[in-house]
Structure formats: structure tokens, C-alpha cells
């Protein structure tokens, strides 16, 4: 995740602080900053969103992309983001959509079956026929909005992004070129607010503002 001290215009005193739980990712971040000639504006360190190593009200903007799906709960992470943001500071955050179109259309992957598949998985693990696998957490749009609101954030804008790959019984139906063209078409329609499509992209991304705690 990235935390920015000032927005929207870049100034020589502005800075970006990044954290990651993996040391190799921190090293990559600093290497890219050096390549871009921005190392004096960028700092990176190993850290966790559950306990951000920054003082209260430090940043104007926090960007949390590709993180929420690894979290068992959003409560503490959002409290920490709220704490380090300045008054009226902004948060850009993403989440995996619980109801993406590509899964809805595949009977095997339809989200409505997840509770049943979860029970079957538990029984197989109990019988030692399956090992525990990392679990990715997805959210319905309304639930994710509720989590943000409960933590004191006011949603300003949102959209879903990404359509495909489309499968039937876990078998891909389209080649890469055709799948990409279909994605672009569906994304354009979603961006225009077409019902169903606007809420069924693979990833949900939200721009919100720090409000009252």
C-alpha cells in the first residue's frame, strides 16, 4: 500500500511512503523509484496494515490496492488508515467483487454455491483428503460500502473493473484476443452505467474521504 503526504499537485517536498509485508517487494519498490529518479520522494519499509508505522494525521491520500482480499477482517486495517489520514483526506481502496459476471455465468463457479463448496471443503479437510489452502476474501458491493461507512469514510465514487476470463465448467470459452475484446466492450458498457454490468466487474474500486469517526 502507498501513502502520499500531499495531493493533488506534485511538489518537491511531497513524498510517498510504501509498506509491504514482503521484504523483496520493498526492495523492488525502491529499485523502481531509483530507476525513475524519484528515490528522494519515495520511502518503503516492511510493515502491516494492521499497525501502520506512522503518526496520526500524516497523509493526504492512502492507496490500498490488492490488499483486502488477504484480510480476514477490514475493521482494524480501516481504523489504521483512518488514523493516519488527515482530516478530509482521501482513501482509494479495492476489493474482489463477490458477484463478478465471469463467475455468475459459470455454474461451477457461481458465488451462490460458495457456502455449499465451503462445507464440502471442510469435510474433505476433516477426512484429510484436502489440505487447507489460502483463502481469498471477496465482498458484495453493499457490504464493502458498509464496512467503509462504519469506519468513518464517505464514499465519493466507485466502479467495477475487469470482465473475464469466461469459462464453462472451469474451461475457458474464448482465446486471449477475443476475450480481451469482449472485456473492453463490457467495460465500456459498465462505465456508462448499464444495469448489471456496472456492478459485476471482477474488482471493485472506491474513492472515499475521511469523515467523522
**Mean pLDDT over the full length of the chain:** 91
List the chain domain ranges: 48-210
3-class secondary structure for 58-122? CEEEEEECCCHHHCCCCHHHHHHHHHHEEEEEEEEEEEEECCCHHHHCCCCCCHHHHHHHHHHHH
Q: What is the pLDDT of residues 87-134, one digit of tens each?
A: 999 999 999 999 999 999 999 999 998 788 778 777 877 777 777 666
Q: Which of 11-15, 18-22, 28-32, 57-61 has the weakest average pLDDT?
A: 11-15
Q: Is the pLDDT of residue 12 over 60?
A: no
The arithmetic mean of pLDDT across residues 177-196, rounded, is 97
26: confidence class by pLDDT, cuts 50, 70, 90: very high
Give residues with Cβ within 8 angstroms of 165, minimum separation 6.
102, 172, 174, 179
Q: What is the pLDDT of residue 132?
A: 63
Q: % helix / strand / coil in the chain, to the nearest 5?
A: 35, 25, 40
- pTM for the model stands at 0.88
Pick 48-210's CATH classification: 3.30.479.30, 1.10.240.10, 3.40.1280.10, 3.40.50.150: 3.40.50.150
Confidence at residue 8, expressed as pLDDT on a 0 to 100 scale:
47
Amino acid at each position: 500500500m502507498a501513502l502520499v503526504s500531499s495531493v493533488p499537485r506534485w511538489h518537491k517536498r511531497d513524498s510517498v511512503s510504501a509498506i509491504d509485508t514482503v521484504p523483496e517487494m520493498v526492495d523492488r519498490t525502491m529499485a523502481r523509484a531509483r530507476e525513475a529518479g524519484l528515490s528522494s520522494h519515495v520511502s518503503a519499509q516492511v510493515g502491516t496494515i494492521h499497525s501502520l508505522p506512522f503518526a496520526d494525521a500524516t497523509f493526504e491520500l492512502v492507496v490500498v490496492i490488492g490488499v483486502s482480499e488477504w484480510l480476514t477482517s477490514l475493521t482494524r486495517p480501516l481504523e489504521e488508515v483512518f488514523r493516519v489520514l488527515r482530516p478530509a483526506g482521501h482513501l482509494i481502496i479495492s476489493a474482489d467483487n463477490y458477484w463478478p459476471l465471469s463467475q455468475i455465468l459459470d455454474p461451477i463457479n457461481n458465488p451462490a454455491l460458495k457456502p455449499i463448496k465451503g462445507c464440502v471443503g471442510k469435510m474433505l479437510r476433516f477426512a484429510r483428503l484436502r489440505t487447507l489452502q489460502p483463502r481469498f476474501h471477496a465482498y458484495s458491493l453493499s457490504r464493502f460500502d458498509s464496512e467503509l461507512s462504519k469506519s468513518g469514510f464517505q464514499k465519493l465514487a466507485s466502479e467495477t473493473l475487469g470482465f473475464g476470463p469466461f469459462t464453462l465448467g472451469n474451461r475457458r470459452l474464448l482465446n486471449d484476443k477475443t476475450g480481451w475484446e469482449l472485456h473492453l466492450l463490457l467495460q465500456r458498457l459498465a462505465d456508462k452505467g448499464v444495469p448489471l454490468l456496472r456492478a459485476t466487474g471482477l474488482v471493485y474500486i472506491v474513492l472515499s474521504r475521511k469523515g467523522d469517526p
